[in-house]
């Protein structure tokens, strides 16, 4: 059976079923429905050939070439399906819900599968994703200077069954010049938006969602404007931790990385850090004096964070001093603080 369904029904059904994206590998890499598997009906090169024929010759010659490619690879498609999808029911989509998903859907149907095909394809999904950021959320934003342990605190808050949105985890980046160290490659901004929307749809928007204060950009990916404006109007709980504790935490997190990687990260902010401070920080890294290097770099980050916070108009910032470096204890204090305020 092949059933064509609209985006909201597709989202509901696909939570429990495998999703097959039949677009090219390049299209899939740019962005895909979170969790989807790629069984491309055409390679990147084949799609380019079909497209060229459509533009320069005619629709009929383009279709003829497409059918030629498909005929040559029918067994391959079915082998991939058997290898990747044990389920008898499948969700499937292409770019606009047209030729590619319809053709592959019929083929997979002959293999005994029940197919749900997305009306409007990936384009409809992207509209759904972007619309989702218009939802009004109840955000609790945890702020604080670099090294305050915000990520660890949020992680502990998440363990208490509260709704916790890990923007840096979804972005594969810790949000600073050193944020890419130890992380997997970042997704595209488009894929970041898809994964972010998937997480948000799991939450109840009527309940608090805890997240970290972030800049608009997290590494190379951008927080969607509608969500970012909500973050910038939500009350910020600014955790205040001693510089000594912050330095200790950052040394624990970063001193194990290769010196060359650390020095490259320092070089990336050299214009903002200043020539002398850059030189001193690099010399400290080379000498394995991570305390001095961190102290120098934190001066820059602290000034930047303080200046940025002061420039935000109309945003309420409430400070909470934390003496401990224990994330579990600090999370409990933050939760109690929010309850009282």
Q: pLDDT per residue over 310-323, tens digit each?
A: 888 888 999 999 99
**pLDDT at position 160, please?**
94
CA-CA distance, 174 to 191, in Å (whole number)?
Answer: 17
**pLDDT at position 175, please?**
82
Confidence of residue 181 (pLDDT cuts 50, 70, 90): confident
Q: pLDDT per residue over 33-72, tens digit each?
A: 999 999 999 999 999 999 999 899 998 898 899 889 998 9
Confidence of residue 150 (pLDDT cuts 50, 70, 90): very high
Q: pLDDT per residue over 195-214, tens digit each?
A: 999 999 999 999 999 999 99
Q: For 61, which DSSP code?
A: H
Q: Write down the mean pLDDT value for the chain.
A: 94
Q: Average pLDDT in the 247-264 region?
A: 93
Active-site choice (94, 140, 153, 181): 94
Q: For 23, which DSSP code?
A: S
pTM: 0.92
Is the pLDDT confidence value at 176 over 90? no
Domains and CATH numbers, the chain: 2-130 (3.40.250.10), 134-340 (3.40.50)
Contact 186, 173 (CB under 8 A): yes
Which residues, in sequence order, are CB contacts of 267 under 8 Å at separation 6+? 278, 282
**pLDDT at position 261, please?**
93
Active site residue 91: no
Closest CA to 127 of 115, 118, 139: 118
Is the pLDDT confidence value at 341 over 90? no
Q: pLDDT per residue over 105-141, tens digit each?
A: 999 999 999 999 999 999 999 999 999 999 999 999 9
CA-CA distance, 50 to 48, in Å (whole number)?
Answer: 6
**pLDDT at position 308, please?**
86
């Amino acid at each position: 059976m092949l059933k064509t369904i609209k985006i909201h029904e597709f989202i509901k059904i696909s939570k429990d079923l495998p999703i097959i994206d039949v677009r090219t590998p390049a299209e899939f890499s740019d962005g895909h429905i979170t969790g989807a598997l790629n069984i491309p009906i055409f390679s990147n090169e084949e799609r380019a050939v079909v497209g060229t024929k459509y533009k320069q010759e005619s629709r009929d010659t383009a279709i003829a070439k497409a059918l030629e490619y498909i005929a040559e690879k029918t067994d391959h498609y079915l082998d991939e399906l058997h290898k990747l999808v044990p389920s008898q029911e499948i969700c499937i989509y292409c770019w606009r819900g047209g030729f590619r998903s319809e053709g592959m859907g019929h083929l997979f149907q002959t293999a005994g599968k029940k197919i749900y095909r997305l009306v409007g394809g990936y384009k409809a999904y992207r509209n759904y994703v972007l619309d989702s950021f218009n939802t009004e959320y109840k955000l609790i934003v945890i702020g604080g200077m670099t090294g305050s342990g915000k990520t660890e605190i949020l992680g502990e808050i998440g363990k208490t069954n509260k709704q916790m949105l890990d923007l840096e985890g979804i972005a594969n980046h810790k949000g600073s010049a050193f944020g890419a160290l130890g992380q997997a490659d970042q997704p595209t901004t488009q894929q970041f938006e898809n994964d972010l929307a998937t997480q948000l749809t799991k939450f109840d928007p009527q309940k608090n969602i805890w997240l970290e204060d972030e800049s608009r950009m997290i590494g190379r990916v951008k927080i969607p404007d509608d969500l970012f404006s909500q973050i910038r109007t939500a009350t910020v709980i600014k955790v205040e931790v001693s510089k000594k504790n912050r330095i200790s935490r950052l040394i624990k997190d970063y001193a194990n990385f290769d010196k060359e990687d650390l020095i490259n990260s320092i070089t990336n902010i050299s214009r903002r850090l200043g020539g002398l401070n850059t030189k001193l920080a690099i010399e400290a890294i080379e000498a394995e004096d991570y305390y001095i290097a961190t102290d120098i770099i934190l001066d820059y980050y602290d000034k930047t964070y303080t200046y940025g916070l002061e420039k935000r108009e109309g945003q309420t910032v409430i400070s909470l001093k934390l003496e401990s470096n224990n994330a579990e204890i600090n999370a409990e204090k933050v939760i109690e603080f929010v309850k009282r305020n």
